[in-house]
Chain A
Amino acid sequence: MFRYYLKLGTLSIRANPVLSALMVAAIAVGIGACMTIVTVRHVMSGNPIEHKDSQLYHVQVDNWNPDDPYDDPDGAPVQVTYLDAKALFDANRAFRQTTSFKTARVVQPDGEDARPFQEDSRATTADFFPMFDVPFQFGSGWDRSSDETQERVVVLSKELNEKLFGGEDSVGRALMLNDEPYRVSGVIDTWNPVPKYYDVNNNPFEDPAQLFLPFSLAVANSFDNNGNTSCWKPIPDGAGREGFLNSECIWIQMWVELQNASAKQDYMNFLDAYVEEQKLLGRFPRPLNNHLRTPSEWMEYNEVVDEDVDVLLGLAVLFLTVCLLNTIGLLLAKAMRRSKDTSLRRALGASKTELFKQHVIEAGMIGMAGGLLGVGMTWLGLRGIENIFVEYDFIQHLVRMDWSMVMLAVALAIASALGAALYPTWRTCNITPASHLRLQ
């Protein structure tokens, strides 16, 4: 019977081409609008390091103003001070740990005519690379010992390696940054986590740094912090760089890797003990407020997904609702028009179940067509978004459709069409046999 109903469905769709087209279009447009926003939201709320979500933790300790919390009502600061970054790092109590901040260096390529250019850089520690599963094309990150010796060593992005060394294996080669010679220790393979979970300040969707170099070196040589610096306690006048490093200003992101729940508990206890100890020294005037947050928790806490996306999602769902109400109306009208056929079939012995099957299959066909067209519409919608935001160089990462989104679009379309078909089908099934057979 299935094939017979498919045939009946096709006939019925052909009998009302304009109406059927309108239904397919309504579903497709509704799905397109909805799925465009869902896709963007899916990427924005993605977690590129999901497989290590229970091992990586962002460290927060509350060194803020006793009279004025960092974030109302009792949010802890989102970065740490140099004092705490150094003390926690030196304590070496986690399996792996990294402190980092955003900076910039001027690259001076070899050659007389070569013009120097600035690149976004990240000052970090050796563990950064294994912690965040950074893939290497050549070489590797630097050794932990380089963190201690403040060695001039650098890791390049694939892109920068292509620009400077034509994409060759440049491990061991020298590179001038701000008039200082560095040794290349590794070249990162294509790596662009979206969102950039390890530093969600400023812009969580920007491209990763092109250069990575040791944190200790950057601090010792006063590299500028290009991220955020927030202070609450004044630095003594004339205290200079030393005063800043010893201040309560926060500007460093700290992450630790802890392999299991008990290691996490131990580290939490360690943090609490550390803060208690600092309280005795007159720091940390606020109540104990330490946090270890996983990448997913961290992105959630920092509201990485723009609020506008949620507003649009809500409106897009309502939009789909209108499209479906439209489809229900049209299906109902179609069903009523066929009342005569239906009552004839009922009179000839078709059961309500069979009629139900027939109409559901027909609705499914419309849903399928709407879904496939909806995938196309979604693609168009994403191109539209890309176009509107063309000045954002990261927009291309947000408008990618993966297979899960395609499947979701089709499934949503079929579910929508079947849902829309329920009421009209129910009305149809209740047509009494032979009621429409007499002459009007």
Chain B
Amino acid sequence: MEFGPIWRAMMRNKGGYLLIALQIAVTMAVMVNAIAIMQERSIKMARPSGIDEANTFSLVSVGFKPDMEEKALIQEDLDLLRNLPGVVNAVETNSFPLRQGGWSEGLHREPGVGKSVSSSAIYFVDEHGLETFALNLIDGKNFSPEQVVWDSDSDDFWPATVIITQALAEDLYPDHEGSYVGKAFWFNDDNPANIVGVVETLQAPWPTWTGVERSMLVPLRRESEFARYVVRTEPGYRDEVLAEAEELLSSSNKDRIIRGVETATDARKMAYLGDGAMIKMLSFIVILLTCITGLGIVGLASFSVARRTRQIGIRRALGATKPAIVRYFMLENFLISSIGIVTGGILAVALNVVMVQAFALTPLAWYVIPVAMLVLWIVGQAAVAGPARKASGISPAIATRSS
């Protein structure tokens, strides 16, 4: 191979080559870190919320007349909704996954006020909550209708029974093996909350929260002028039922307004808008950066060919074949790229360490580095191919001309 002469020729014009190597190195560092962030975000976006997103929607009833029969209205609304054709089930609740607003509580393993050991999102539901949210109950059983209480009927604010997610159970009792059903914990006071069921997945309403997998169903109903209904429909019936439900509730009682009609699909879109945007912007940056670096290589290689026209002519006159000339430039680029890519690998790791420390980012996966290396090698070779072929087309007769 011709590494030796190529290397020695490069050393005579260090500045120019160093610049390209440096450019490739920084490109590599940015690319690797951007890919690492994009990967982190897509993993985040792919997490299931636990509910039947494609067939679920929500709407809110806000009463505005004083002295409304709130409890009766909620019951009436639920009857209307549950009897609509195409509806699987409906529930009145405070929030749902992906909504980005809700209720959370610190939890304790002992009664009384102390330092909480875990925290959880709370969904207030009745016995229809499990089916409306399409949850997979992996242990225990659903609330019985008798376990559901209205806060106005009871002095105890917190009901005695809860259904929690597997993730919350594991966080509450890290050393426990076997069933969590029958265990208890406390909400900042003296009344135990007894676990009657465990569901596989039910995300908290805030996708950005680190404890997003920790949530629970609490069989408590509250009388309020503000009622949020979540409705699950048969597959394919969502939009039809949504329009019907909005119309039905709006006309059934004029002392309230129906607002906040939103599908779970829309809620997901809003909840992950920032992450989706980050992926879009970063891919744009990576593509643009690769193009700029590629164009830079094309520009500089063209220059180098133009400057060395006579040399190339002489080499050709002395018997070098066209492929030999192409190979020269390809090898030269391979050498520079390699220096840049190896430096870039180190730079990428350093940048990642800095970013992980400064921001709440996940460290990059090792295999992103070899992938980025490969991409940049290919880009380099592809960029230099054009000028190299042009160089190989230089006629040997050039050597005979002066200047």
Residues of A within 8 A of B (CB): 18-19, 22, 26, 29, 33, 65, 67-68, 104, 106, 108, 115-118, 178-180, 202, 224, 231-235, 237-238, 306-308, 310-312, 314-316, 318-319, 321-323, 325-326, 328-330, 332-334, 336-337, 384-385, 388-389, 391-392, 423, 427, 439-440
Contact = CB atoms under 8 A, between A and B. Distances in A.
Contacts of A22: 295-296, 299
Interface string B300-319: 10011011001000000000
Interface of B: 13, 15-16, 19-20, 22-23, 26-27, 29-30, 33-34, 37, 62, 64-66, 101, 106, 113-116, 155-157, 187-189, 226, 257, 259, 269-270, 273-274, 276-278, 280-282, 284-285, 288-289, 292-293, 295-296, 299-300, 303-304, 306-307, 310, 351, 355, 358-361, 402-403
A178 B277 contact: no
Contact of B292 (A19, A179, A323): A323
Among A322, A384, A427, A440, max chain B CB count under 10 A is at A322
Per DSSP, chain B at the interface is helix
A103 B156 CA distance: 27
A224 B341 CA distance: 59
Contact of B113 (A65, A310, A384): A65
A308 B156 contact: no
A336 B101 CA distance: 62
Contact of A67 (B115, B359, B402): B115
Contacts of A26: 292, 295-296
B15 A332 contact: yes
Contact of B288 (A33, A231, A312, A389): A33
Nearest to A332: B16
Contact of B273 (A202, A389, A427): A389
**A314, A329, A389: residue with the most chain B Cβ atoms closer than 10 Å:** A329
23 contacts: A26-B295, A65-B113, A67-B114, A104-B62, A115-B257, A116-B257, A179-B64, A307-B360, A311-B359, A314-B355, A318-B29, A318-B30, A319-B30, A319-B285, A330-B296, A330-B300, A332-B19, A333-B304, A336-B303, A337-B303, A391-B273, A423-B15, A427-B15
B157 A237 contact: yes
Given A238-B155, A308-B274, A333-B16, A322 B26 contact: yes
A337 B306 contact: yes
A70 B300 CA distance: 58
Contacts of A427: 15
**Top 10 A-B residue pairs of the complex, sorted by shortest distance between their CB atoms:** A106-B64, A234-B189, A326-B296, A333-B303, A325-B23, A329-B19, A238-B155, A67-B115, A68-B115, A178-B64
B281 A388 contact: yes
Given A67-B114, A68-B116, A231-B188, 6 more contacts: A322-B293, A332-B19, A333-B303, A336-B307, A385-B281, A391-B269
Contacts of B19: 325, 328-329, 332
A329 B23 contact: yes
Contacts of B303: 19, 333-334, 336-337
Contact of A322 (B27, B106, B284): B27
Contacts of A439: 402-403
B359 A224 contact: no
Contact of B300 (A106, A115, A319, A329): A329
Given A117-B257, A332-B16, A68 B114 contact: yes
A307 B270 CA distance: 18
A400 B281 CA distance: 18
A333 B299 contact: yes
Contacts of B114: 67-68
Contacts of A118: 62, 257, 259
Max chain A C-beta neighbours (<10 A), residue from B101, B299, B355:
B299
B285 A106 contact: no
Given A234-B188, A337-B306, A440-B403, A322 B292 contact: yes
A230 to B, nearest CB: 9
A352 to B, nearest CB: 18
B22 A325 contact: yes
A368 B120 CA distance: 56
